[in-house]
Copies of this chain bind each other. A is one copy, B any other.
Amino acid sequence: MAVTIKDVAKRAQVAPSTVSRVIADHPKITQETKEKVRKVMQELGYHPNLLARKLVTQSSQTIGIIRKTSSKRSLSDPFFPVALQGMSDLLHEKKYSVLMTCGESDEEIYHEVVNMVQGKSVDGMIMLYSQDNDPVLQLLLEQDFPFVMIGRPTDHIDKVMYVDNDNVKAARDITDYLIRAGHEYIAYVGGDPRFEVHKDREQGYKQALKLADIQSELLFRKEISRDSARETVAEILEMNPRPTAIVTTDELMGMSLLSALYERGIRVPDEMAITTFMDSMLSELSSPPMTTVDIHAFQLGFEAAKTLVDLLEKPDMMKRNILVPTSIVVRESCRKNKTNGAMI
């Protein structure tokens, strides 16, 4: 059996409570006794049992991360590791630990969250997605449990703190960028609009078109996969008039489309421009390198963690939401403006 606070106390000839105070570096303990106790702790190789501490202090110094992992996708999703790194960085600095959900199905995830929340295993949670009508969100709200969402919530928007990009603006900007580069027929390929992020980006795309007085909304909502990319490319190429640019809102989707275009012998950017979201290594190293919207995933994670920690430290803090600005990273998957030769 491991050495406990009592063993230390006995050996140092003080009470357990004194040892506890020494650990906490309580001011009411003499330097002298502190040193005596510390010496004994050293000798015995004592280390406090965190479980016991957590139980009595009713706080775990741990935060839970809820993520959706459709195994298929998450294996190559560039967003998660970067956001995780952002959260980790802050949480580590603030001395929090990180506990993660592993479940795949909605029910499994829900169960894990119940366990973490009700089982008192975590002090707060970060949700890495925002979804329509989500029982997990429901639960957290019901329990009045501290959490921060990455992404804008669909429901109860006035009750949840979130960190997000301005996805409407981001999509508007990148679409506008294409329009100003001379494109008129611009296809939009986005994901499942049950996720708020996709809804927003779709809207941004539409706004940009409207502002430029372009009528033709060319919307595609697709699963991410090699095959669906081929189909989509086929559909796009058959349109009349044929689009000259594609806006995608998902990096993997963008990459798949790019290779589907390549397979069809379509030159990018000459015959077809294409842009995507996220800006990971993937975009940087593709050929041609992709012009993307950098959503600053690291910062999203970092700010979410920061907000959560703030909330835990002052539970009555004013609700605040954070918008992380996006920026367009210009690479070579879009042509320069043909009409005036200027680089945009």
Contact = CB atoms under 8 A, between A and B. Distances in A.
Interface of A: 2, 47-52, 54-55, 60, 62, 69, 71, 74-78, 80-82, 85, 88-89, 91-92, 97-100, 102-104, 108, 112, 114-115, 118-121, 252, 255, 258-259, 262, 280-282, 285-287, 298
A47 to B, nearest CB: 3
24 contacts: A2-B118, A50-B120, A51-B119, A51-B120, A51-B121, A52-B55, A62-B99, A69-B85, A71-B89, A74-B81, A75-B81, A75-B298, A76-B81, A76-B280, A80-B81, A97-B100, A98-B100, A98-B102, A99-B99, A252-B281, A255-B281, A259-B285, A285-B286, A286-B286
Q: What is the total number of copies of this protein in its complex?
A: 2
A119 B285 contact: no
Nearest to A65: B100
B81 A281 contact: no
Nearest to A98: B100
Contacts of A281: 76, 252, 255, 282
A102 B108 contact: no
Q: Which applies to chain A's interface (DSSP): helix, strand, loop or mixed?
A: helix
Contacts of A100: 88, 97-100
B98 A97 contact: no
A127 to B, nearest CB: 17
A49 B76 CA distance: 36
Contact of A103 (B47, B74, B92, B104): B92
A49 B119 contact: yes
Contact of A285 (B48, B82, B118, B282): B282
B255 A285 contact: yes
Contact of A118 (B47, B81, B97, B112): B47
Contacts of A80: 81
Contacts of A54: 51
Contacts of A78: 76
A73 to B, nearest CB: 10
